[in-house]
């Protein structure tokens, strides 16, 4: 049995102010091409299908096109999906019983009634059956009422209890789809900026992998960099695209899992997804950065750090003559470094950092160098006054 493992599509996500629609569409088309080529027995998508709880019409169109292209492949490849923390259960669950007729299986919420159970899909190969358990993102409060008082006190106990009540036969081959923050004995997976995980105090969102290690494969979503958690068979496949500058060195891929007989172990391969526009950090003098533009790289998303001692006039505008998508421009020179040292890094950096991210959030784009200077002036004045 062979299956593709995907997660965190975040359809509709923007990178700074730029739409990623074409990039997302291209990445999903590559998944379809690979599916035609490798003919997996199933495609698993482990949460955060959409970036927002209320996806745009355009986002639905991208997702719809993806499902349509997949379902055009014959024989049909079953698709299994669980909701992530970014997805809205009701919206994602729309028409799910209709979709099942086309072997598209969707689980959007954990059991809420005593008689409810995890959605389980059974596929067969030459070695017998493989059971796929679909566990959507859950918080302890969603399921606490199903158990004795005090049984569910954390994310970990919630996941343990919810899996425990399924009476899974571990003598068979079982696969779990899950979208949670799994850790290895308190050791956190490598994270990046686009995840926007809210880590509650005391790490209560963590679920130790011991809770799921008896599955033959655990297909995870939530963390955006591909990685195993403790064991090769417990794995985050990562996003299909780079969703933040902090992911510039990630190699995005589809995880392809081949499973043989029970106890034989699994084989994992990664099928690269080639980006249309790469996300890159560049550093140097304005002149150098501009001169390094080529026909191939000028469409990439760039995060630029300028090292000019004499600060250039309207650097973003100048860079935009050479490149199509400038995400942000920062300056690193004697002035900006002295400022930090002179005033005590933590103390003075904070208001500026906070304003930068506030502005980004409100305006969908970073401050220009001029605006940056203006706000810095205001912060300076305020600091002198306090």
CB of 221 to Mn ion, least distance (A): 7
Helices 345-363 and 369-385: angle between axes, nearest 10 degrees: 130
Q: How far apart are alpha carbons 226 and 252 in whole angstroms? A: 8
- 48 vs 216, which CB is nearer to Mn ion? 48
CB of 179 to Mn ion, least distance (A): 8
Structure tokens given for 282: 């560049």
- 48 vs 328, which CB is nearer to Mn ion? 48
CB of 49 to Mn ion, least distance (A): 10
- 48 vs 300, which CB is nearer to Mn ion? 48
- The DSSP annotation for 268-303 comes to EEEEE---SS-EEEEEE-HHHHHHT--TTTTTSEEE
- 86 vs 173, which CB is nearer to Mn ion? 86
Q: How far apart are alpha carbons 83 and 79 in whole angstroms? A: 13
The CB-nearest residue to Mn ion is 48
CB of 48 to Mn ion, least distance (A): 4
Q: How far apart are alpha carbons 219 and 254 in whole angstroms? A: 12
- 8 vs 300, which CB is nearer to Mn ion? 8
- 95 vs 198, which CB is nearer to Mn ion? 198
Q: What are the helix (H) ranges across the chain?
A: 21-38, 57-71, 89-92, 96-100, 140-143, 155-164, 286-291, 315-322, 334-343, 345-363, 369-385
CB of 6 to Mn ion, least distance (A): 12
CB of 195 to Mn ion, least distance (A): 6
Judged by the rule CB under 5 A, the positions of this chain that interact with Mn ion are: 8, 48
Tokens 């996003």 sit on residue: 239
């Amino acid at each position: 049995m062979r299956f593709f493992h995907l997660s965190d599509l975040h359809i509709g996500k923007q990178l700074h102010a730029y739409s990623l629609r074409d990039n997302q569409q291209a990445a999903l088309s590559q998944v379809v091409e690979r599916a035609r080529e490798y003919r997996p027995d199933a495609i698993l998508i482990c949460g955060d299908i959409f970036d927002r709880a209320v996806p745009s019409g355009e986002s639905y169109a991208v997702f719809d096109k993806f499902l349509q292209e997949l379902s055009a492949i014959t024989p049909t490849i079953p698709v299994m999906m669980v909701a992530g923390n970014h997805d809205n259960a009701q919206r994602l669950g729309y028409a799910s019983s209709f979709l099942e007729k086309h072997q598209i299986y969707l689980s959007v919420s954990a059991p809420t009634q005593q008689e409810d159970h995890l959605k389980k899909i059974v596929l067969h190969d030459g070695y017998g059956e493989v059971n796929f358990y679909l566990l959507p993102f859950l918080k302890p409060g969603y399921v606490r009422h199903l158990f004795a008082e005090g049984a569910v006190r954390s994310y970990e106990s919630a996941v343990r209890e919810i899996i425990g009540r399924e009476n899974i036969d571990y003598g068979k081959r079982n696969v779990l789809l899950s979208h949670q923050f799994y850790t290895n004995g308190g050791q956190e997976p490598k994270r990046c900026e686009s995840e926007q995980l809210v880590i509650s105090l005391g790490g209560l969102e963590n679920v130790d992998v011991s809770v799921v290690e008896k599955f033959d494969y655990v297909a995870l979503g939530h963390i955006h960099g591909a990685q195993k958690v403790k064991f090769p068979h417990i794995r985050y496949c990562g996003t299909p695209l780079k969703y933040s500058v902090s992911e510039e060195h990630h190699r995005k891929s589809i995880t392809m899992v081949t499973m043989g007989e029970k106890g034989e172990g699994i084989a994992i391969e990664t099928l690269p997804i080639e980006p249309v526009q790469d996300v890159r950090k560049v550093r140097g003098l304005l002149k150098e950065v501009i001169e390094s533009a080529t026909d191939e790289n000028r469409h990439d998303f760039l995060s630029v750090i300028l090292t000019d001692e004499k600060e250039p006039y309207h650097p973003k505008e100048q860079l935009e003559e050479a490149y199509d998508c400038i995400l942000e421009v920062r300056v690193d020179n004697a002035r900006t470094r002295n400022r930090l040292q002179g005033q005590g890094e933590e103390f003075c950096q904070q208001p500026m950092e906070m304003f930068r991210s506030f502005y980004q959030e409100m305006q969908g784009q970073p401050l220009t160098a001029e605006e940056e200077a203006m706000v810095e002036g205001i912060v300076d004045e305020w600091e002198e006054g306090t």
